[in-house]
Structure 1
């Protein structure tokens, strides 16, 4: 337990008071008596004395949020040091004869919510001040895909995750039939959390989760499992390259200091029974780095690497990177002659959050299943999946990047058919673009007119427009996934490309029909081309971090009129920043016109929006058609016409 003065950050004050962080910031600016920051924080994350904050809240009539979960958070901050959390977690699912106030608070929170949420709160405190560089949670859709790939080949009884984190992959292993689960994590709080969660939710499953560094202090030495699932840490510099130089696990060559991921790969293979599978989630650099060439070559020669699957960027954290799934097998008597490469990174949408993720995952699993069962024809899908002979990969680079292999493996029939389909699609988009262009062909010339304008801040105070707040609250554990609209979606003119993840905090207000949607960021000081009025798939979606949502009073402000004038040259003044351009909503200026005049403008702006969307779609279709035709011509599966035309 901690003897130091309990402190809280602004986010914790917001939770304590049941308000947003913006409200806490306003209190600090407007109230001279708000407690001053104490030592131990930073300018970006100041800390405050908890007792002083509670006294100030009571003195200003602010009722503290009185939920069992919030009371537990407060008690943890006051009484428990982060290092003491693992011991506390171990008592969560047990019966204590004379519980302390803290143990009673844990029990009350479990009764009011559920065990998973309470474990998350405990882990939140336990992970305070723990560096997390290179350690990322596995999104549930990706974890499910990894488990489904495993299930497509076999039903494992025993499964190990040597970097188990919060246990997501082990939960998925149980879903596909595993009855013996083992895990290890370098952080004791994660190991304790996962052990309690698995034992409580899977009472008929054997569970053994231990704390420790799997590479430097393997908790399961000499043990073999039917399968291994792992999302190991990335780019570790202190993984033990010097201490482990002569380790017996390096069957495929000693990993270089900068190849920690390939150390983890060999650790996984060392714990497999012959013929067992390992599924690893890895950064794309592992497939091509020069320092890992020798190990990649030996994995291929031994037949240990069976598939490399590129995922779309955003599938799992870190979201800016398109991660890869490696399917590995402990070699037995059979010798593999080929490897399956799948490039799903080029598909539309963004990662595991995309709406058609289930379709993507099904295609990936179907291709892998066919390949694993020896049906290479069924496994091969034009511009998506390719089966490549190992001898053809053993070149100077040993580059395992799926895009390179899939593009090189041209299926004549598939490419020709895809090219013809792309040409047909381009024709459809061209026809649609012409139809939309016809609607904007006629305009009435007029003399320059100076329009009287008001700021959005003025319009808000007058009730004509409201900026929808970004207040969030924790979603229920069984809450359905919702689509997420990003700023990139707005700029490209498409619908929501994302889905919420399990347990994520969601905005209290979702997008409604008629809301005005604006991208918060710009690449330059140009017009806000992404601004539009919500309809169709936008309705009910969650606005992403890069999206501003305005809600107009339709009896006073036409939403398309409002959206169109947001992109006016006058509103360049509402943008700030030198490298990343941001939008200040309150500084936007909108003309003051009668509603009927607004509606004339609104109809025109909607036509321009449709024109931009059609132009973008046509451009993408044209580029796709040109790429496929070029591939077909250079691969010899398409021939130019001989009609003598220019």
Structure 2
């Protein structure tokens, strides 16, 4: 019996060869020796991977030896979801690499060899997710989401930050539980904070194995991972952890309300059938040692639903609920909902109940963009550490966080939405100062915009010429520029300026959680769009393997710059030089004797290129973009105008943002009572 082959689609061939899909279609039409399809459908044909690689090599287009692509093709062509699920259970990480003891030879050997290469190439998360996603293809379960790495790091930092009452008893948080562990993001984040005993449970066996493999690959720990529904079949009934982190399933209809009516975990009230999230909250509390902390990610409806009012009141009244942190929509799936982090602490017997709790509203904190939320992380940790420190009366950032007395929270509704409490606690003097500073910033931005508009000159009516175009791939092949593609965040950097989107690997320990690590400046994708200096940082050890920005580099964010599909590009100047390139950024390094960088940046963001790269996904292939063929002197004339336009757009964006900030501050101050109109009679 012949050995099954690994297959690739036309789209995967284009990625292997670094060309467009249209080029692959042309190859199929024009070259009689191009490999014939061996499966799939007429619209989505499949090809023999090894035959494609051989053909590309023979025609001078060596395919990149992508272990990730080969691994994906192998498990799709030669296994079923059930086979991969059994393989996940058999896989072990040893000193010499991956093995699969007891699994059938052949497929197991090939997968483990490719897995070693794929982990080295793209990181453990990407490699293991290829197997996990294949194993889940026939699973009916929904809501299998990966907690974004930045958010997992934030939740782990909150849960493992020992307050003053815990310092006398434990030196650090060691044991951490995630009762709905999914693929292990939260437990891995806890390990990065120093936790050494990790326990996790999930209803899906595939997710349990994914989490185990990821943690074993990224750490030296051996987690205790178990399968089962934590609410109806608790695998750790006697565990009392130092911390619990959890992103539970939302809106479960059949979570066991009837059979669990007399469960001892419900210290704060029997969760109604429509309040499964409050069952998870109490499950987390039940697994904490006295003084231990839990961070649970919840939908905002849990804070307001009438059916959960009594349980919310009991959580507040006893001091078990210490903080509610509101996040902006887009922080995690489901993306359209502004989720909340509830921080809970198991009360100590006979200890006095705290008289206040913390509310944080981060919806007004500007995200660093592109899934990068270091500003939110810093704001939340700063507020929590101030509130949970030795002096809980330490001033907390007005307009973002507020410590509220429990008696003021225990209203008829017990509404725990952070925004209302934060607005009610606005300090009038602080708001007035903020408005004054915002108006000064607006005035400066308006001056810059006027100056940029006055400087716009140097064009005349065109003759309507028709240009010949060349692609970035062609320019790279002829040595006129070097295309340095965006690298997966996990392979490129651990940044304080942000975290990767949910479908990408973790970025590693952020510097704010590792304050002793030496730092280097990092230029982020939002910095490019906003025209500002490098705002991020990278650890020196990671920066050593990253791309260093050079003056004259053309930098393009790897994702859309706005909702319309528009893109931004920027030419690095001497101030940018020496910074480390952040994640999600493509770099075009030009030969200045043959290409003008601003000419290149301008045409790459033109309407034709935007239209050509607007797809259903946010990412794009820069090699497909086109520019006209012009002499260097003509390029420089165009480049100067494009540079002026970049300055104008940057100034306009800053002026708009400054105006929006003034309007938002004044509106908030007036509606919250922190500001009042002047009295015309006395001139106030």
Q: Report the TM-score, using the length of structure 2 for normalisation.
A: 0.72
Q: 1:418 to 1:479 in 2, by over 3 A?
A: closer
Tell me which residue corresponds to 1:85: 87
Q: CA deviation at 1:340?
A: 0.5
Match of 1:621 among 651, 658, 682: 658
Tell me which residue corresponds to 2:398: 382
Q: CA deviation at 1:436?
A: 3.1
Give the Cα–Cα distance (whole angstroms) in 1 for the partners of residues 677 and 338 of structure 2: 35
Q: CA deviation at 1:307?
A: 0.6
Aligned-partner SS, 1:453: coil
Gap regions ≥5 residues in structure 1:
none
Q: CA deviation at 1:79?
A: 5.7
Q: 1:200 to 1:462 in 2, by over 3 A?
A: closer
Q: 1:238 to 1:537 in 2, by over 3 A?
A: farther
Q: 1:449 to 1:36 in 2, by over 3 A?
A: closer
Q: 1:138 to 1:590 in 2, by over 3 A?
A: closer
Q: 1:479 to 1:517 in 2, by over 3 A?
A: closer
Q: Tell me, yes or no, if the aligned pair for 1:560 and 1:602 is still in contact at 8 Å.
A: yes
Give the Cα–Cα distance (whole angstroms) in 2 for the partners of residues 586 and 95 of structure 1: 39
Give the Cα–Cα distance (whole angstroms) in 2 for the partners of residues 25 and 456 of structure 1: 20
Tell me which residue corresponds to 2:646: 609
Q: Verify: 1:280 aligned to 2:296, yes or no.
A: yes
Equivalent runs, 1:372-451 vs 2, <5 Å: 372-373=388-389, 375-395=391-411, 397-440=413-456, 448-451=461-464
Tell me which residue corresponds to 1:226: 242
Give the Cα–Cα distance (whole angstroms) in 2 for the partners of residues 280 and 266 of structure 1: 10
Tell me which residue corresponds to 2:130: 124
Moved more, 476-485 or 600-609: 476-485
Q: CA deviation at 1:471?
A: 6.0
Q: CA deviation at 1:210?
A: 0.9
Q: Report the TM-score, using the length of structure 1 for normalisation.
A: 0.76
Tell me which residue corresponds to 2:598: 560
Give the Cα–Cα distance (whole angstroms) in 2 for the partners of residues 572 and 94 of structure 1: 46
Gap regions ≥5 residues in structure 2:
167-171, 498-521
Tell me which residue corresponds to 1:138: 147
Q: CA deviation at 1:383?
A: 1.6
Q: Verify: 1:151 aligned to 2:161, yes or no.
A: yes
Give the Cα–Cα distance (whole angstroms) in 2 for the partners of residues 238 and 510 of structure 1: 54
Q: 1:291 to 1:537 in 2, by over 3 A?
A: farther
Q: Tell me, yes or no, if the aligned pair for 2:17 and 2:56 is still in contact at 8 Å.
A: no
Q: CA deviation at 1:142?
A: 2.7
Give the Cα–Cα distance (whole angstroms) in 1 for the partners of residues 103 and 602 of structure 2: 65
Q: 1:495 to 1:5 in 2, by over 3 A?
A: farther
TM-superposition CA deviations, 1:173-213 (whole Å, max 9, x none): 3444444322112232332344455567766x674211222
TM-superposition CA deviations, 1:376-419 (whole Å, max 9, x none): 43252112211122332344554333233212211233223323
Q: 1:408 to 1:246 in 2, by over 3 A?
A: same
Match of 1:454 among 462, 467, 470: 467
TM-superposition CA deviations, 1:284-340 (whole Å, max 9, x none): 444345554454334323332111123455555555654432101223443233220
Give the Cα–Cα distance (whole angstroms) in 2 for the partners of residues 42 and 225 of structure 1: 55
Q: Tell me, yes or no, if the aligned pair for 1:280 and 1:327 is still in contact at 8 Å.
A: yes
Q: 1:249 to 1:106 in 2, by over 3 A?
A: same
Q: 1:475 to 1:572 in 2, by over 3 A?
A: closer
Tell me which residue corresponds to 1:36: 37
Q: 1:250 to 1:429 in 2, by over 3 A?
A: same
CA RMSD of aligned residues (A): 5.2
Q: Tell me, yes or no, if the aligned pair for 1:10 and 1:24 is still in contact at 8 Å.
A: no
Tell me which residue corresponds to 1:640: 678
Q: 1:243 to 1:638 in 2, by over 3 A?
A: same
Q: Tell me, yes or no, if the aligned pair for 1:521 and 1:582 is still in contact at 8 Å.
A: no
Q: Tell me, yes or no, if the aligned pair for 2:268 and 2:315 is still in contact at 8 Å.
A: yes
Q: Tell me, yes or no, if the aligned pair for 2:300 and 2:339 is still in contact at 8 Å.
A: yes
Give the Cα–Cα distance (whole angstroms) in 2 for the partners of residues 222 and 532 of structure 1: 57
Match of 1:326 among 320, 338, 342: 342
Q: CA deviation at 1:221?
A: 2.3
Give the Cα–Cα distance (whole angstroms) in 2 for the partners of residues 69 and 572 of structure 1: 29
Q: Whose relative contact order is higher, 1 or 2, with alpha carbons under 8 Å and at least 6 apart? A: 2
Aligned-partner SS, 2:229: coil
Q: Tell me, yes or no, if the aligned pair for 1:316 and 1:352 is still in contact at 8 Å.
A: no
Give the Cα–Cα distance (whole angstroms) in 2 for the partners of residues 582 and 76 of structure 1: 25
TM-superposition CA deviations, 1:222-271 (whole Å, max 9, x none): 43323211222344455445654554434444445554433322221222
Q: CA deviation at 1:13?
A: 5.8
TM-superposition CA deviations, 1:94-144 (whole Å, max 9, x none): 896999455655665687686995686355224311467423223343333
Give the Cα–Cα distance (whole angstroms) in 1 for the partners of residues 450 and 657 of structure 2: 16
Give the Cα–Cα distance (whole angstroms) in 1 for the partners of residues 337 and 551 of structure 2: 32
- How many residue pairs get matched? 625
TM-superposition CA deviations, 1:529-558 (whole Å, max 9, x none): 8455444559763674xx887776644654
Aligned-partner SS, 1:341: strand
Q: 1:231 to 1:576 in 2, by over 3 A?
A: closer
Q: Tell me, yes or no, if the aligned pair for 1:425 and 1:621 is still in contact at 8 Å.
A: yes
